[in-house]
């Protein structure tokens, strides 16, 4: 109640003081308000308009960027998927892996020769691949530790996920001792029945290959590719300190994301500071121009109000003051 009373008394006192001002001062204040308020309103409105337009345009651009990144990632994954399909459909390779070799059976030499030639050729065609391995339960074929390995060497959780996919490609991200990340594409090699695969195929390539697809798009924004659990596979940031999307600081950022068919997702953090920097720059220029206009308007208003009130002041001046003059 006291606050409202104080405000009322302050406004009343202000109106009283304005009422006691000379006509020239009143006109000057009226013209000043009529000039300044529209200019200030224009500046505020223009800033809002420019800001909203920049945000909308940035969102459109980021959506296009995400779409292009997803297309590039899918094309790269499809390339390696075709490799797995070629291996999957290779009947001779399948026969070599299914054959039971005796102690003195030299037929395994033909198997090694064919498998090595086939997989070496694929590695040469796609130099970004770090390894191609086939894991088998056939203990009669010897493991070379490179192309042929035993299924028991795979982690159990990986085997369960691969088998649950029933021949479809699944993806994994592993981190080596030196901190480098590797993307693994795996699928079960099935023969006649999905329940009895004759091997598991693993195709591995470096995370840097996906990084190369997004690094050029990372100007003024942070781009991440994460798996279906939210674990970050690769990032356009130099520090690479984040391992999961939940660790990202989204305050002050516009978060945009789109999923890929395999469950991965591309996430972009767009800084509002970067978005509004141009709007602030444009508004600052407009404000400077507006202040110059206000300064010119003040001078013109003062001259106009003085000119308009001069004759009125002469008319209302007391007769004795006129005679003295």
How many helices (H) and strands (E) the chain has is answered by: 8, 9
In contact, 236 and 214? CB cutoff 8 Å: yes
Domain CATH number, residue 192: 3.30.450.20
Q: Identify whether 71 is part of a domain.
A: no
* CB atoms near residue 93 (< 10 Å): 21
Which H or E run includes 52?
helix 23-88
> What does R_g of the chain's alpha carbons equal in angstroms?
38
pLDDT tens digits for range 203-230? 999 888 888 888 887 777 888 998 888 8
In contact, 205 and 80? CB cutoff 8 Å: yes
Q: Identify whether 222 is part of a domain.
A: no
Structure tokens at 150: 């035993």
Q: What is the DSSP string of 168-212?
A: S-EEEEEE-TTS-EEEEEEEEEEESEEEEEEEEEEEEEEHHHHHH
What is the extent of the structural domain holding 183?
Answer: 78-206
* CB atoms near residue 271 (< 10 Å): 15
| DSSP structural state of residue 141 | S
Q: Could you give the CA distance from residue 74 to residue 279 in angstroms, rounded to a whole number?
A: 36
Category of 105 on φ-ψ map: left (φ > 0), alpha (ψ -120 to 50) or beta: beta
Distance of CA 189 to the CA centre of its chain: 37
pLDDT at 318: 55
pTM of the model: 0.69
| DSSP structural state of residue 244 | B
* CB atoms near residue 305 (< 10 Å): 20
Q: Could you give the CA distance from residue 15 to residue 7 in angstroms, rounded to a whole number?
A: 12
Structure tokens at 151: 């299924």
Torsion of CA 239, 240, 244, 247, to 10 degrees: 0
Q: Identify whether 87 is part of a domain.
A: yes
Q: Identify whether 291 is part of a domain.
A: no
How many domains, the chain? 1
Question: What does the pLDDT profile of the chain (325 residues) look like in tens digits?
Answer: 555 566 555 545 545 554 544 555 666 666 666 667 777 777 777 777 777 777 788 788 888 989 999 999 999 999 888 898 899 888 899 889 988 888 877 787 888 899 999 999 999 998 889 999 999 999 888 888 889 999 999 999 999 999 888 888 888 887 766 667 888 999 998 865 555 788 999 999 988 888 888 888 777 788 899 888 888 888 887 666 778 888 887 767 788 899 998 889 999 888 777 767 766 777 677 777 777 777 777 777 667 666 666 656 565 555 444 444 4
Structure tokens at 80: 């390696």
Q: Identify whether 282 is part of a domain.
A: no
User: What number of CA atoms fall less than 13 Å from residue 110's CA on the CB side?
Assistant: 9
Structure tokens at 71: 């297309």
Sign of CA pseudo-dihedral 163, 166, 167, 168: negative
pLDDT tens digits for range 241-276? 778 888 887 767 788 899 998 889 999 888 777 767
| DSSP structural state of residue 151 | G
Q: Identify whether 9 is part of a domain.
A: no
Compute CA distances 26 → 9, 309, 315, whole Å.
Answer: 21, 10, 18
Q: Could you give the CA distance from residue 2 to residue 5 in angstroms, rounded to a whole number?
A: 5
């Amino acid at each position: 109640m006291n606050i409202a009373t104080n405000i009322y008394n302050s406004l009343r006192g202000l109106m009283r003081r304005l009422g006691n001002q000379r006509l020239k001062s009143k006109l000057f204040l009226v013209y000043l308000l009529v000039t300044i308020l529209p200019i200030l309103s224009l500046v505020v409105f223009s800033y809002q308009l420019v800001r909203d337009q920049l945000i909308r345009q940035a969102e459109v651009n980021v959506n296009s960027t995400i779409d292009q990144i997803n297309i590039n990632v899918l094309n790269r994954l499809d390339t390696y998927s075709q490799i797995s399909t070629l291996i999957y459909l290779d009947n001779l390779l399948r026969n070599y892996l299914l054959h039971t070799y005796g102690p003195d059976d030299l037929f395994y030499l033909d198997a090694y020769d064919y498998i090595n030639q086939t997989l070496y050729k694929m590695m040469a065609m796609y130099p970004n691949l770090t390894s191609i391995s086939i894991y088998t339960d056939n203990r009669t074929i010897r493991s070379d530790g490179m192309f042929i390995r035993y299924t028991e060497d795979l982690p159990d959780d990986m085997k369960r996920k691969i088998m649950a996919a029933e021949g479809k490609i699944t993806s994994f991200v592993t981190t080596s001792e030196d901190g480098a990340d590797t993307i693994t594409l795996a699928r079960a090699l099935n023969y006649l029945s999905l329940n009895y695969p004759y091997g598991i195929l693993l195709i591995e390539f470096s995370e840097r290959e996906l990084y190369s697809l997004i690094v050029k798009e990372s100007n003024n924004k942070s781009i991440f590719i994460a798996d279906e659990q939210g674990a970050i596979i690769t990032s356009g940031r130099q520090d690479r300190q984040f391992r999961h999307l939940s660790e990202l600081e989204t305050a002050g950022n516009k978060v945009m994301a789109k999923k890929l068919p395999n469950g991965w997702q591309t996430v972009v953090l767009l800084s509002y500071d970067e978005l509004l920097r141009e709007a602030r720059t444009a508004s600052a220029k407009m404000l400077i121009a507006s202040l110059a206009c206000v300064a010119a308007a003040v001078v013109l208003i003062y001259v106009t109000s003085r000119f308009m009130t001069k004759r009125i002041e002469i008319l209302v001046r007391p007769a004795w003051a006129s005679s003295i003059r």
